[in-house]
């Protein structure tokens, strides 16, 4: 059963249902099938760790060569055409546009044997974001890792009321970038788990926005005590008795302020800002990737456990819709280098980096040979995968690529391994297995696949 809490604030223009559109706070669509764990149940949910994941998804398929495996010991064309940057760990280098991230290597684990078998964008994005539970990427099966997390964790945090799964996107004028955004949203779906576990999208349109609107002026809920008295006047009944007023109370208490970047000091906002970079192919926009990372940090602080940061434009074919690799890495690699580095330092300064595992990946990798226009084409046989923070053993490279940077030279790591790794970080999987009412399909998938040895 689903219940909508409407907190009224006074007069205003009413819609045909008699509700005031301007003057109510929609506090959430709370389904009793596990969306919001009651406090007592949450206290008993010992499988939940105080951990978080930030999935940085480079839509379009970032080159593994120009990011984390420049392979400069190999002859051309099997090495990075942007050169390499020495990291803080001797013997490990990144691509030439990752000068700031190179200083983060002691916090990082780089995977150089990540692969799958899906070579088209739409299908590959779904395959990776669902952790392989959509085996052919046709969006007929599987659910996103974030939705599976929300299903096991509860779709709202039991203390703050905040959604536990969010996707942060950037609106794009460029048609190619817009297509990549829509593909990421398909890959981020809840699927058969149900609409209650779709991602919350605070900067765009999505099912969760239809059910929760936290972005209201703070002065509208300053008198918290008076508001809660209004909430108490509601008698909300369900098949399981009176609905705990917890969700409305906590949202009214300020959880929605997590979405207001103006609450951040100007110096912090400027440090994150990537607005000086222009991104696009046919139509250019100021890059807001820095704002997305700042929002991700605020959401993690407020109790959101799984955040996807979507970055578009990494399909560097050098064709009519996409730039060549050198141009593309200058355009996209530089703002990612800045924003992600600031994000990692900020998490560390706030004591959040140990609990937050940051993952960088994308659709697939790129061809080891440069095409005639200076681009790289689709290549699922070897891809981009890197981890930062999360208490991992930093400064390590996991797996090896062949000398031509085209296939793994060690045991391949797959999206299923990625899924298992994230779940082992977020949950005590042994306890999760014996917890009642957990989906068998999720438990079986996690149990069948080894996590990556990051710790």
What is the average pLDDT across 82-108?
98
Please list the helix, strand and coil fractions of the chain in percent, rounded to the nearest 5, in that order: 35, 20, 45
What is the average pLDDT across 155-183?
90
Specify the pLDDT at position 202.
83
Burial bucket for residue 75 (CB in 10 Å: 0-12, 13-18, 19+): exposed
Burial bucket for residue 440 (CB in 10 Å: 0-12, 13-18, 19+): exposed
Distance CA 301, CA 322 (A): 36
Give the residue from 330, 329, 396, 385 showing the smallest Cα distance to 358: 385
Distance CA 138, CA 125 (A): 10
What is the band of 213 on the pLDDT scale with cuts at 50, 70, 90? very low
What is the average pLDDT across 318-336?
95
- What are the φ/ψ torsions at residue 33 (nearest 5 degrees)? -80, 20
Distance CA 455, CA 391 (A): 7
What is the average pLDDT across 84-93?
98
Specify the pLDDT at position 319.
92
Greater pLDDT, 376 or 231: 376
Q: What is the pLDDT of residues 396-422, one digit of tens each?
A: 999 999 999 999 999 999 999 999 999
Q: Is the peptide bond before 160 cis (omega within 30 degrees of 0)?
A: no
76 Cβ neighbours under 8 A, 6+ residues apart? none
Greater pLDDT, 313 or 8: 313
Q: Where are the domains of the chain?
A: 50-204+263-448
Distance CA 358, CA 348 (A): 12
Specify the pLDDT at position 171.
84
Question: Which residues are bridge partners to 91 per DSSP?
Answer: none
Q: Using alpha carbons only, how large is the chain's radius of gyration in Å?
A: 22
Task: Give the domain 50-204+263-448 fold.
Answer: Alkaline Phosphatase, subunit A (3.40.720)
**C-alpha distances in angstroms, 358 versus 66, 253, 315, 354, 407?**
19, 29, 22, 10, 24
DSSP string, 279-306: E-SSS-EE--HHHHHHHHHHHHHTT--E
Specify the pLDDT at position 361.
98
First to last CA, the chain: 41
> In this structure, how many other beta carbons lie within 10 angstroms of the beta carbon of residue 441?
15
Specify the pLDDT at position 220.
41
Query: Worst-scoring range by mean pLDDT, 83-87, 125-129, 166-170?
Result: 166-170
Q: In 250-394, where do the E strands start and end?
A: 278-279, 285-286, 306-311, 356-362, 365-366, 378-379, 385-389
Question: Could you tell me if 357 and 347 are in contact, meaning their C-beta atoms sit under 8 angstroms apart?
Answer: no
Q: Buried (b) or exposed (e) across 230-251, using 16+ Cβ within 10 A?
A: ebeeeeeeeeeeebebbbbbbb
- CA dihedral angle for residue 59, residue 65, residue 70, residue 72, rounded to 10 degrees: -160
Tally of CA atoms within 13 A in the half-sphere of 235 that contains its CB: 0
Alpha carbon of residue 67 to chain centroid: 19
Tally of CA atoms within 13 A in the half-sphere of 400 that contains its CB: 4
Specify the pLDDT at position 162.
86
106 Cβ neighbours under 8 A, 6+ residues apart? 88, 89, 394, 395
Distance CA 52, CA 145 (A): 13
Specify the pLDDT at position 73.
92
315 has pLDDT over 60: yes
Give the residue from 201, 252, 259 showing the smallest Cα distance to 8: 252
Mean pLDDT for the chain overall: 84
Of all residues in the chain, what percent carry a pLDDT higher than 70? 78
**C-alpha distances in angstroms, 259 versus 160, 193, 201, 291, 453?**
13, 26, 11, 11, 34
């Amino acid at each position: 059963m689903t219940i909508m809490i409407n907190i009224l604030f006074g007069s205003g223009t009413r819609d045909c249902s008699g509700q005031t559109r301007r003057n109510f706070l929609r506090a959430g669509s709370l389904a009793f099938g596990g969306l919001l764990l009651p406090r007592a149940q949450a206290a008993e949910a010992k499988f939940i760790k105080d951990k978080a994941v930030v999935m940085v998804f480079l839509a379009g398929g970032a080159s593994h060569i120009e990011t984390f495996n420049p392979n400069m010991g190999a002859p051309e064309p099997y090495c990075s055409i942007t050169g390499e940057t020495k990291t803080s760990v001797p013997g490990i280098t990144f691509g030439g546009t990752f000068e700031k991230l190179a200083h983060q290597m002691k916090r990082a684990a780089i995977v150089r044997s990540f692969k799958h078998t899906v070579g088209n964008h739409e299908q590959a994005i779904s395959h990776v974001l669902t952790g392989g539970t959509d085996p052919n990427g046709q969006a007929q099966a599987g659910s996103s890792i974030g939705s599976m997390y929300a299903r096991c964790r509860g779709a709202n945090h039991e203390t703050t009321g905040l959604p536990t799964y969010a996707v942060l996107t950037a609106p794009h004028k460029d048609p190619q970038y817009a297509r990549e955004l829509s593909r990421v949203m398909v890959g981020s779906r809840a699927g058969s788990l149900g609409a209650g576990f779709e991602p919350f999208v605070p900067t765009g349109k999505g099912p969760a926005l239809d059910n929760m609107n936290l972005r209201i002026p703070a002065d509208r809920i300053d008198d918290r005590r008076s508001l809660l008295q209004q909430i108490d006047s509601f008698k909300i009944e369900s098949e399981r008795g009176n609905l705990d007023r917890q969700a409305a109370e906590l949202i009214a208490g300020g959880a929605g302020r997590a979405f207001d970047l103006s609450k951040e000091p100007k110096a912090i906002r400027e440090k994150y800002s990537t607005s000086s970079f222009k991104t696009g192919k046919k139509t250019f926009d100021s890059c807001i990737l820095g704002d997305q990372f700042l929002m991700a940090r605020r959401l993690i602080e407020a109790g959101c456990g799984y955040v996807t940061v979507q970055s578009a434009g990494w399909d560097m074919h050098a064709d009519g819709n996409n730039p060549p690799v050198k141009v593309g890495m200058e355009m996209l690699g530089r703002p990612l280098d800045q924003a992600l580095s600031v994000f990692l330092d900020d998490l560390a300064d706030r004591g959040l980096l140990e609990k937050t595992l940051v993952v960088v990946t994308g659709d697939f990798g790129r061809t080891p040979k440069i095409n005639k226009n200076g681009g790289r084409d689709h290549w699922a046989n070897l891809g981009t995968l890197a981890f930062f923070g999360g208490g991992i053993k930093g400064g390590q490279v996991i797996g090896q690529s062949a000398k031509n940077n085209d296939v793994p030279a060690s045991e391949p790591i797959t999206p299923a391994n990625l899924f298992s790794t994230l779940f082992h970080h977020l949950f005590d999987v042994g306890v999760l297995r014996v917890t009642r009412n957990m989906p068998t399909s999720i438990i079986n998938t996690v149990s069948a696949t080894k996590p990556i040895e990051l710790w």
